[in-house]
Amino acid sequence: MASLTRLVERLGELGMSSYEAKVYLALIGAGGPLNGYEVAKSSGVPRSTVYETLAKLVARGAAFETRTSKDATCYVPLPPNALLSRMSREFEQSLQALRAELPSLAAPREAHLINNVNGYDALIERSADIIREAQRDLFVSIWPEEVGVLGPALADAQERGVDVTMLVFGEEPEPVGHTYRHRFSPPDFVLDYLGYRLFVVVGDLRQAVIGGMEDGDGWGIYTDNPAVVLLSTEYVRHDIAMQLLGEQFGATQVTEYVRSNPEFVHLRAARAVRPPREA
C-alpha cells in the first residue's frame, strides 16, 4: 500500500496543493461525513486553513458539503475513481489545448541544437523521447544491453506504423521492424578499437542521440542539426549495407579481410577518446 506521503505527492503532481491532498485523503479514509474540526484533526491541516482548503475542494468538485441531523455542515469526498476519471479528462483536455496553441507561439529557430548528454540514464531517457515522438522512421544502432531497456518503446513505435531499422551488435534480440545483426565485426572486436558501445538513435531524420556506453555510464549528444542527423543516419545505413555485403560474400572472408588489409588497419588506427565529463 502506498504511503500517505507518496499519495500526497502524486495528487500534487495532478494539481492539488499539499493541504488539499491531505484533506481529501482524510475524507476518503473516514468512511462518513466529517466536520471541519474532524478534518483538521485527522489530516493534520491547521484549523485556521482547513475551511479554506475544504472550500477549494468543493469548488473543484472533489468534495461536497452535506448537512447532519443537527444541521451542522460536514463534508464527504468525491469517490476516488470518479476523481481520477475527472482529473484524467481535464489533463487530456489541457494537453490537447496546449498541442493546438503552443506551436503558434514558438519563435523561428535561429540555430539548431547540439546538446551534451551525460550519464547512462540521461542518454536512455532522451533516446526514448525520440522513439516515442517518431512518426515516420527510426534508424538505430544499438547493443543488447540497451535493447533490453528501449525494446518496448521500439516495439510500440513499430505498432503505431513507424518504420524501424535497427542494427544490433552482439546476439540478435527479438526483431523489431527491419533488424540486422552486426555479423562480420564481432562485439569484442568492435569494443577493442572503440573502447565503448557506440549508440545511435535517429527519429524522422530530424533529431538524433549519439553516444557511448561503458560500465553503466554513458556520454553523448542530442541534436536536431540537419548535418549531424544526416551523418548519423548514413552511418547506420552504411553499416547495415556492410552487413548485407558480408552475408552475400561470406562473413568469415569479410572479417579476415577487414582485420588484415593494411588500409582497414590504418582506418582503425586512431582510437576513440571519451570526452571529459562536464563539471
Give the model confidence (pLDDT) of 40-81 as tens digits: 999 999 999 999 999 999 999 999 999 876 778 899 999 999
Model pLDDT for residues 265-279, shown as the tens digit of each residue: 666 555 555 555 554
Confidence of residue 244 (pLDDT cuts 50, 70, 90): confident
Q: Do 249 and 129 lie in a common domain?
A: yes
Residue with cell 552475400: 248
Q: What is the pLDDT of residue 70?
A: 74
Q: What angle do CA 73, 75, 76 make, to 5 degrees?
A: 145
Taking residues 243-261, report their average pLDDT: 71
Higher per-residue confidence, 2 vs 78: 78
> Is residue 8 situated within a structural domain?
yes
For the record, the C-alpha cell of 195 comes out as 573502447
Among 79-93, 119-133, 235-249, 264-278, whose mean pLDDT is lowest? 264-278
Residue 173 near residue 149, CB atoms below 8 Å: no
Which of 82, 105, 134 corresponds to the end of one domain? 82
Which of 30, 65, 82 corresponds to the end of one domain? 82
Q: What is the pLDDT of residue 181?
A: 84
Q: Do 122 and 247 lie in a common domain?
A: yes
Q: What is the CATH number of the domain that holds 219?
A: 3.30.870.10
Confidence of residue 251 (pLDDT cuts 50, 70, 90): low
- At 224, is the secondary structure helix, strand, or coil? coil
Residue 87 near residue 95, CB atoms below 8 Å: no
Taking residues 162-186, report their average pLDDT: 81
Q: Do 146 and 207 lie in a common domain?
A: yes
Give the chain's length: 279
- Number of domain units in the chain: 2
Q: Do 136 and 197 lie in a common domain?
A: yes
Confidence of residue 1 (pLDDT cuts 50, 70, 90): very low
Q: How far apart are CA 67 and CA 85, in angstroms?
A: 27
Say which amino acid occupies 265.
V
Nearest Cα to Cα of residue 138 among 241, 239, 243, 233: 233
Higher per-residue confidence, 1 vs 32: 32
- How far does Cα 218 stand from its chain's mean position? 16
> Is residue 93 situated within a structural domain?
no
Q: Do 69 and 118 lie in a common domain?
A: no
Residue 177 near residue 163, CB atoms below 8 Å: yes
Residue 58 near residue 64, CB atoms below 8 Å: yes
Q: Do 78 and 120 lie in a common domain?
A: no
- At 37, is the secondary structure helix, strand, or coil? helix
Domain extent for 36: 4-82
Quickly list DSSP for 153-205: HHHHHHHTT-EEEEEESSS--S--SEEEE--SS-HHHHHHHHSSEEEEEEETT
**Assessment of whether the complete model's pTM goes beyond 0.85:** no
- At 268, is the secondary structure helix, strand, or coil? helix
